[in-house]
Amino acid sequence: MTKPAPHDRYLEETDDHDTLLSAKRFVRIFRELGDPFAVRRIPVRSSGIHCLRECPRKFLFRYRCGLRLKGERAFALDVGTVFHNIMAHLHYVGPPHDIDTALAATSTWVQEKSVGFQALADDTGLMPDGTPIEKLIQETERSYSLARVMAQVSVDYLFGGVFKGWKPFLIEQPIEVKLDEITAPVRCKPDIVLQSEENPADLMLVDHKTCSGNSAQRAAVVLYETQPALERLVAEAAFPEHTVKFFVHNIVVKTGLRYPAKKYPTWEDYLTAVRDDYEARLTKDPDNPPFLQALTATIGAILPRELFTNLTEASAACQGNPDPSRYYRNSSACFGRFGRSPCPYLELCRSGAHLWPEILERRFTTSFREDDEEADTLLAAPAGKETAQ
């Protein structure tokens, strides 16, 4: 199959005849599953832009149709989710950053995840893909333990630093704006927006990151990622009286120590071991610290040509006719990096349309990120601030 040019790849016809459906037929299949909003227009966001680059067909299924695997889980994603939630509460309660309060606010996460797994498991305790539910609950507990210990140690290393002299402006609040020349609305959800105490017109965007590799290399990614530029654009459009001066990557490298373990009979033993491990890492390789606050000044045009092009392309994909024949399937992305992690939508792409209702009913549920954000917003905005629309 010849790949169309990037600027129009999701509008091109393909030779993938198994999924050449009319838009009317496509919409009807999803409506037959009982969700009249299963195909809908969505706002542009940085994650959608990245997915569109990877595979427009995957973008269609995930973002336009909201298809998510039943019982979807990923250890790294779970760790990041819990870590972000704890950090959000830490910022909310403010100095001295009461870790006990933050942990109490997120302590029900494991139970809620377990209840969700149980609802999907059959009478023998197996998930739809055959995974034992006990294994998933153990992984969930391990995710929480890892996120919790990283957050606790973060209080020692990260708070203060570049955050001194800044106060919360928005915490985990979605911001959505309409920009000139961009058809679809543009949306982002910064982890936190801070306001300068010295100059209240100045803002700082913060992005919490957990990683398993080199913190300095992870920090360098901010220089060419879409997310910082998009969040800056949206924040300044939503709050024109303010200027985004800095973007911060608040990076924590994951510890390799696991809990529970025989050598850590108590949580305090584990916490001490992790702190000692981070200290040893810092001493051994100070140029690659396990904790890093990467501060980047925001300079240059607020809407450079590359970002404008990305937004224009994504806007067309977010608002266009949801016909799979018009969203190119990138076959090189079907099995992820190094041939691992097959795309969850591969079965749909390789099946005839007449099999789609059965596949959708068996494997997928419908969930849109925008709905999740509205339902799961953890924190009220600081005084006088509401979700920007």
Greatest mean pLDDT range, 41-45, 106-110, 287-291: 41-45
Q: pLDDT at position 35, please? A: 62
Give me the chain's average pLDDT, please. Answer: 81
Q: In whole angstroms, how large is the CA radius of gyration of the chain?
A: 22
Local confidence band at 376 (pLDDT 50, 70, 90 cut-offs): low
The mean pLDDT of 70-85, rounded to a whole number, is 77
> So what's the pLDDT on residue 369?
84
> Do residues 93 and 128 share a domain?
yes
Which burial class, exposed, middle or buried, applies to 9 when counting CB atoms under 10 A from its CB (0-12, 13-18, 19+)?
buried
- The confidence band for 379, taking pLDDT boundaries of 50, 70 and 90, is very low
- Residue 90 counted as domain residue: yes
* Co-location of 146 and 233 in the same domain: no
Q: How many CB atoms lie within 10 A of CB 95?
A: 10
pLDDT for the residue 375? 61
- Judge contact between 87 and 250, C-beta under 8 A: yes
Average pLDDT of span 236-257: 92
The closest of 319, 338, 320, 333 to 55, measured between CA atoms, is 333
Tell me, yes or no, whether 92 lies in a domain. yes
Whether the per-residue pLDDT at 17 is higher than 70: the answer is no
Residue 236 lies in a domain: yes
pLDDT class for 51, splitting at 50, 70, 90?
A: very high
More confident site: 10 or 76: 76
Which range is least confidently modeled, 210-224, 255-269, 271-285? 210-224
Q: Assess if residue 139 is contained within a domain.
A: yes
Domain final position from 156, 185, 219: 156
Tell me: pLDDT of 167 over 60.
yes
Per-residue pLDDT band at 71 (split at 50, 70, 90): low
Tell me: do 212 and 92 sit in the same domain: no
Q: How many angstroms separate the CA atoms of 17 and 21, rounded?
A: 9
* Residue 198 lies inside a defined structural domain of this protein: yes
Please indicate, yes or no, whether residues 199 and 242 belong to a single structural domain of this protein: yes
Q: Tell me the average pLDDT across 91-100.
A: 76
Q: In terms of domains, do 298 and 191 share one?
A: yes
Place 187 in a pLDDT band, splitting at 50, 70 and 90.
very high
Gap between the Cα atoms of 61 and 39, Å rounded: 9
Q: Are residues 114 and 174 in the same domain?
A: no
* Whether pLDDT at 323 is above 80: no
Nearest residue to 235 via CA among 283, 184, 295, 195:
195
Are 208 and 295 in a shared domain? yes
Q: Looking at the structure, do residues 182 and 295 belong to the same domain, yes or no? A: yes
Q: Do residues 16 and 329 lie in contact, with contact meaning Cβ atoms separated by under 8 Å?
A: yes
- Please check whether residues 115 and 40 belong to one and the same domain: no
Residue 184's nearest CA partner among 282, 302, 37, 63 is: 63
- How many degrees, rounded to 5, is the angle at CA 369 between CA 230 and CA 357? 130
Same domain flag for 236 and 180:
yes
**In this model, does residue 384 exceed pLDDT 50?**
no
**Residues 359, 230 within the same domain:** no
Q: What is the pLDDT of residue 230?
A: 93
Decide if 383 is inside a domain: no
Q: Identify whether residues 197 and 301 lie together within a single domain.
A: yes
Is 224 inside a domain boundary?
A: yes
34: confidence class by pLDDT, cuts 50, 70, 90: low
Domain of residue 136: give its range: 75-156
Residue 329 pLDDT > 80: yes
User: 280 lies in a domain?
Assistant: no
Q: For residue 364, what pLDDT is reported?
A: 87
The pTM score is 0.81
Domain boundary among 156, 181, 197: 156
Overall number of domains in the chain: 3
